[in-house]
């Protein structure tokens, strides 16, 4: 089979997904000919229409409704997209939402049936975040095959070069599970790209080559990406490399589960208080519907100029009304709740405030304890003070690029600019031209073209340095843990698809019985090289990641045997750290080796 006809960018978002594409062999130029797929989807019962955005919602229909028919599947029992989202306010127990946020949950089995969250309808079988993600990608693939390929096997999506985006702060496990969902959807050749980088590629493309006039050596672009489920910060620096202006992603923020979902909850609680004051109580089912209703009202107000938007909550046989409840969400109330609640005016020294946790809690998403996005931003800039090679107490950006559906709200952008202006003593330059809904998908396609034809690239690599714990040999002492050395196995900025040169040192590997690998990461130790050995101290510069517990096969050796090994590490194209141990005694033959990957655990500890 010949090479792919198209390069395809897919934004698998928390609230919306999108697909953009370009001809793989398009002639090189300053501006890529990228198009957006109009995705056929159910928009109302029995009505299919194409839309540029596919809402990331899945609705499981009741048997009495009949099939949720699509042009390519007349008997489908579920719907993905606009109709599914509209059903969320009326039948929340039948609608899967925020699957992407659940996909990066650090402590739950993300392959287990968790969705719909809360109480599902009796006839609805819960599905995993992986399956929900697969269903969204499957719909995009089917829509592509029906509208672009039209029966031509060579044009089917599985035969194209696909760039699939993930949050920059996604842990290794969430990246691997996203890849698993893509494979389930039939995608065969794909790479992962960080969403803020994709948004930046879209901006580069939109300048039609004029970006070199807007950026100069020493500039640092802060990408503020606030989507439905996460807040991502990335910094991209412009540097003079032998007379050429080169771009480097120099810093990535922690995974912050804070975004549009939190805002919908905040608005829902505000409306519930108003309804309660009127003597109208809501049960848990109605509260869930209210959250979905607030999402729709928020999007309508942020995307238009109406003074208010209605929120309707289905009735539950209430004696008060006997039917649905209604509350109007006004623009002033929306801006008060969102602007002051999520973008408070704070000093540059402000930091997120943890709150005491209750011993028993419901199983749910590990939302950030502090809702102040400006405090999280101050912490990021303070922690990354030296990322661009400068001094001072904070990383100082010279330009801002906004991305994510939440940032469509002008009051939110305005408040963030006001706060940052107070930190740095003046207004920051905003890079114009962002398409908050479609930039990520477009930018992913642009990146794919750049890979093929040698266009402008943002150099990045790993956003952290990674270390593995090596336990020291010492006699047992009551109450004293053996000293631990942290060996750097992936330095900061290690490129995907490359291998680290570790020192030719011998270590002992325990096989045939349960063992625990301890890994560590750091976003600030930028100068450590592969093989650097540090003494680990709790609370120091290294953050311990959740351990990987595994039993390595003995394969003819005794259980518990300590095998002398050499270590080798690499970072896969998917951004997964792979650590291999190769035996030195030669007993197992040339093919014997053990491999551990950071692919099923989070790469940062759960939020406090």
Of 85, 90, 94, nearest to 62 (Cα)? Answer: 94
Q: Do 448 and 163 contact (CB within 8 A), yes or no? A: yes
Supply the pLDDT for residue 302.
82
The residue that leads in pLDDT, 454 or 506, is: 506
In terms of C-beta density within 10 A (0-12 exposed, 13-18 middle, 19 or more buried), how is residue 27 classed?
exposed
Pairing of strands 35-36, 16-23: antiparallel
Two structure tokens written together for 63: 């048997």
**What pLDDT does residue 27 have?**
62
> For 197-217, what is the mean pLDDT?
92
pLDDT tens digit sequence for 288-312 = 889 888 988 998 888 778 899 999 8
- pLDDT band with cut points at 50, 70 and 90 for residue 504: confident
CB 219 within 8 A of CB 238: yes
Give the best-scoring range by mean pLDDT among 28-42, 250-264, 312-326: 250-264
pLDDT reading at 363 higher than 90: no
**Distances in Å between the alpha carbon of 47 and those of 44, 75, 265, 270?**
5, 15, 30, 34
- Structural tokens at position 452: 């093929």
Structural element, H or E, at residue 66: none
Closest Cα to residue 17, out of 78, 98, 123, 112? 98
Cβ atoms of 399 and 222 closer than 8 Å: yes
Q: What percent of the chain has pLDDT over 70?
A: 90
**pLDDT tens-place string over residues 475-503:** 656 766 788 899 999 998 888 788 987 88
How would you classify residue 556: left for phi > 0, otherwise alpha for psi between -120 and 50, otherwise beta?
A: left
CB 528 within 8 A of CB 492: yes
Cβ(223)–Cβ(458) below 8 Å: no
CA-CA distance, 323 to 30, in Å (whole number)? Answer: 58
Produce one character per residue of 479-498: b if its CB has 16 or more CB atoms within 10 Å, e if not: eeeeebebbbbbbbbbebee
Helix (H, G, I), strand (E, B) or coil at 326: strand
Per-residue pLDDT band for 589 (boundaries 50, 70, 90) equals low
Burial of 150: CB neighbours in 10 Å, binned 0-12, 13-18, 19+: exposed
Omega within 30 of 0 (cis) for the link into 116: yes
pLDDT digits (tens, 9 = 90+) for 421-449: 999 998 899 999 888 999 999 999 999 99
Task: Reply yes or no on whether the pLDDT at 408 is more than 70.
Answer: yes
- Residue 234 CB neighbours (<10 A): 29
Q: Is the pLDDT of residue 604 over 60?
A: no
Rounded-to-integer distance, Cα 269 and Cα 233, Å: 28
**Contact present, 19 and 146 (Cβ < 8 Å):** no
Distances (CA, A) of 45 to 50, 54, 83, 462: 15, 16, 7, 45
Q: Which residue has the tokens 């909850």?
A: 265
pLDDT bracket for residue 28 (50, 70, 90): low
In angstroms, the CA 80 to CA 405 distance is 19
pLDDT at residue 388 in the model: 83
């Amino acid at each position: 089979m010949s090479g792919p006809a198209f390069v395809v960018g897919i934004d698998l978002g928390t609230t919306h997904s999108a697909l953009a594409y370009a001809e793989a062999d398009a002639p090189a130029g300053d501006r890529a000919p990228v198009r957006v797929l109009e995705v056929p989807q159910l928009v109302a019962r029995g009505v299919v229409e194409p839309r540029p955005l596919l809402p990331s919602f899945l609705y499981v229909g009741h048997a009495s409704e009949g099939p949720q028919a699509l042009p390519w599947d007349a008997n489908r029992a579920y719907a993905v997209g606009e109709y599914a989202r509209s059903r969320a306010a009326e039948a929340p127990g039948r609608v899967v939402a925020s699957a992407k946020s659940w996909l990066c949950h650090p402590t739950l089995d993300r392959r287990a049936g968790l969705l719909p969250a809360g109480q599902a309808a009796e006839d609805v079988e819960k599905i995993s975040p992986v399956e929900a993600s697969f269903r969204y990608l499957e719909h995009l693939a089917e829509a592509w095959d029906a509208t672009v390929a039209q029966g031509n096997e060579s044009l089917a999506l599985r035969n194209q070069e696909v760039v699939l985006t993930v949050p920059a702060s996604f842990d290794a496990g969430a990246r691997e599970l996203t890849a698993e969902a893509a494979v389930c959807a039939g995608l065969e050749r794909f790479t992962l790209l960080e969403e803020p980088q994709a948004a930046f590629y879209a901006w580069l493309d939109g300048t039609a080559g004029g970006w070199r006039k807007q950026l100069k050596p020493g500039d640092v672009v802060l990408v503020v990406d606030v989507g439905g489920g996460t807040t991502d910060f990335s910094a991209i620096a412009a540097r003079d490399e032998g007379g050429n202006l080169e771009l480097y992603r120099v810093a990535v923020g922690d995974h912050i589960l804070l975004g549009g979902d939190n805002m919908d909850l905040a608005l829902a609680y505000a409306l519930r208080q108003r309804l309660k004051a009127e003597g109208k109580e809501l049960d848990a089912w109605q509260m869930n519907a209210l959250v979905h209703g607030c999402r729709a009202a928020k999007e309508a107000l942020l995307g238009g100029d109406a003074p208010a938007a209605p929120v309707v909550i289905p009735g539950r046989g209430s004696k008060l009304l006997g039917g649905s409840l209604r509350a109007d969400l006004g623009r002033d109330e929306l801006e008060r709740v969102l602007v002051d609640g999520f973008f408070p005016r704070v000093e540059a020294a402000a930091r997120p405030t943890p709150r005491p946790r209750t011993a028993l809690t419901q199983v749910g998403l590990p939302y950030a304890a502090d809702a102040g996005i400006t405090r999280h931003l101050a912490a990021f800039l303070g922690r990354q003070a030296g990322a661009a090679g400068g001094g001072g107490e904070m990383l100082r950006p010279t330009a801002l690029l906004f991305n994510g559906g939440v940032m469509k709200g002008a009051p939110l952008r305005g408040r963030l600019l006001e706060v940052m202006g107070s930190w740095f003593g003046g207004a920051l330059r905003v890079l114009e031209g962002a398409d908050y809904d479609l930039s990520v998908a477009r930018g992913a396609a642009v990146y794919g073209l750049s890979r093929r034809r040698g266009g402008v690239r943002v150099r990045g690599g790993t956003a952290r340095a990674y270390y593995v714990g090596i336990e020291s040999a010492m006699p047992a002492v009551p109450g004293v843990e053996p000293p631990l050395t942290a060996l750097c196995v992936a330095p900061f900025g290690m490129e995907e698809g490359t291998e680290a040169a570790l020192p030719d040192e011998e270590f002992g590997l325990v096989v045939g019985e349960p063992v625990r690998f301890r890994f560590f990461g750091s976003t600030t130790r930028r100068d450590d090289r592969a093989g650097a050995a540090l003494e680990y101290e709790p609370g120091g510069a290294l953050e311990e990641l959740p351990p990987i517990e595994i039993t390595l096969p003995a394969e003819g050796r005794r259980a518990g045997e300590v095998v002398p090994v050499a270590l080798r590490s690499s970072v896969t194209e998917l951004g997964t750290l792979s650590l291999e141990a190769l035996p030195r005694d030669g007993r197992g033959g040339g093919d014997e080796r053990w491999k551990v990957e950071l692919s099923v655990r989070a790469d940062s500890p759960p939020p406090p």
